Amino acid sequence: MSASPAPALLIDDPAVLVEALQRQGWRVIGPQARDGAITYDPLTPGATLPKGLTDTQEGGHYRLGAGDPGRWFDYVVGPQSWKKHLFPSRQKLWEASRTDDGFAVTPVQDDYPKTAFFGVRACEIAAMEVQDRVFDNGDFADPGYGRRRAATLIVAVNCTRAAATCFCASMQTGPRAKAGFDIALTELATGTGLLVEVGSDRGAEIVDGLDLPRANAAHRAEAEAASAAAAAMQTRAMPPGMAGVLAANLDHPQWQVVADACLSCGNCTMACPTCFCSDVEDVNDLSGDHTERWRTWDSCFTVDFTYVHGGAVRRSTASRYRQWMTHKLSSWEAQFGTSGCVGCGRCIAWCPVGIDITAEAAAIAASPVPKE
């Protein structure tokens, strides 16, 4: 997706774009207000985008409520990420059946039609680009992930407000998407529509068919200013240089402090848009003649995660929290050339006890253990 010089346009109602995509045969997955939260589910024809909603987020707190009734995208990220579509939480990898001379294995491919992700925030594009590196590591590529990613069109929405849990500005992943989208929308002043920018030829083709009016320089400046305001309102920030700080502080007393609060529930890993760990399980039928290999999301917060004969390696919560956070902020950089954190704040909001990764990082950065 190379940057395209196509001029910015204006659209009054984002649903027009959803309908255009659907008419062109795209399955559109977009935000839905469901169970008191924003979720990312397929938009059935005629389904409406949520409007007039906003969210309040804090450590261990998320509420979706009424906002400015004229605004489409005044909520930010909910508990789910697009990860669940590109890297399904349960995925059948293959099946095997008993035969006269042993067994036969049949690979399984899931059905993933060409799909448009509608309403992808900048931090979420960054998260996808992180997982792109995870699932194609140079030696091996996950064929399912690659196939799904290639069949996915990205319609980004640039955030014009931030929740209290957001810290994308400090991770340089947002709030404005610079690349990685086919089409990007930025909501302008209430009632004046949305700025439409094109990020790829594929996106240009879709937008061309809509016959939209051109935006002027003032519109573009307003969109930039709205994103800048969303960055400026962020109250949390990741301290700089955490990769080195954590690598040098693996014995820091703060690991035990956070472990005393941490329930080791794994919510942060499930909500995280980049966490990629998985387990496999074999599911047999009652005859014992048919079996299926499933891949499921897993979490480094479980004791079983490190089980080897004789027991688990990481038995204490402190060791498991250390693993999660040092992986996310430190060893990830050595593995994949990027931080594993995109600053979306989900792990803060969805932690049942409100553990704040930025505060934990700051606590260690502020009192590093002296070198031996």
Partner 1 sequence: MTAMPKPGAMPDPMVPRRFRVRKAWDEIDGVATMELDPVDGPQIAFQPGQFNMLYAFGVGEIAVSISGDAARADTLTHTTRAVGAVSTAITRLKAGDMVGVRGPFGSAWPIAEQEGRHIVFVAGGLGLAPLRPAIYHVLNNRDRYAGFTLVYGARSPSELVFADEVKDWKSRFDTEIEVTVDHAAPGWTGHVGVVTTWLDKTLLTVDPATVSAFMCGPEIMMRFSAASLANAGVAAERQFVSLERNMKCAIGFCGHCQYGADFICRDGPVFRYDAVAARLKLKEF
Among 61, 67, 327, 363, binds partner 1 (CB under 8 A): 327
Q: 157-196 mask for partner 1 (x: CB under 8 A)?
A: ----------------------------------------
Whether 65 and 50 have beta carbons less than 8 Å apart is answered as no
- Under rule CB under 8 A, residue 264 binds partner 1: no
Query: Cα–Cα distance between 103 and 96 in angstroms, integer?
Result: 6
Task: State yes or no: residue 331 binds partner 1 (CB under 8 A).
Answer: yes
Interacting residue with partner 1 among 83, 85, 295, 328 (CB under 8 A): 295
Closest to partner 1 by CB, 15 vs 300, is: 300
Q: Per-residue contact track with partner 1, 89 to 108, x per CB under 8 A?
A: ----xx-x-x--xxxxx-x-
- Considering only residues 236 through 255, tell me which ones interact with partner 1, judged by CB under 8 A: 250-251
* Residue number with CB closer to partner 1 (4 or 256): 256
Residue 270: CB minimum distance to partner 1, A: 14
Q: Is 369 in the site for partner 1 (CB under 8 A)?
A: no
| Cβ nearer to partner 1, comparing 191 with 311 | 311
The verdict on 137 binding partner 1 (CB under 8 A) reads yes
Measured from the CB atom, the residue of 66 and 286 that comes closer to partner 1 is 286
Where residue 172 falls (left for φ over 0; alpha for ψ -120 to 50; beta otherwise) is left
Per rule CB under 8 A, is residue 84 in the interface with partner 1?
Answer: no
Find the part of the chain contacting partner 1 (CB under 8 A) among 174-182, 183-191, 314-322, 353-361: 314-322
Nearer to partner 1, 42 or 307 (CB): 307
Residues that bind partner 1 (CB under 8 A): 93-94, 96, 98, 101-105, 107, 134-135, 137, 139-140, 142-143, 250-251, 276-280, 282, 284, 288, 291, 293, 295, 298, 300, 305-309, 313-316, 318-319, 323, 326-327, 330-331, 334-335
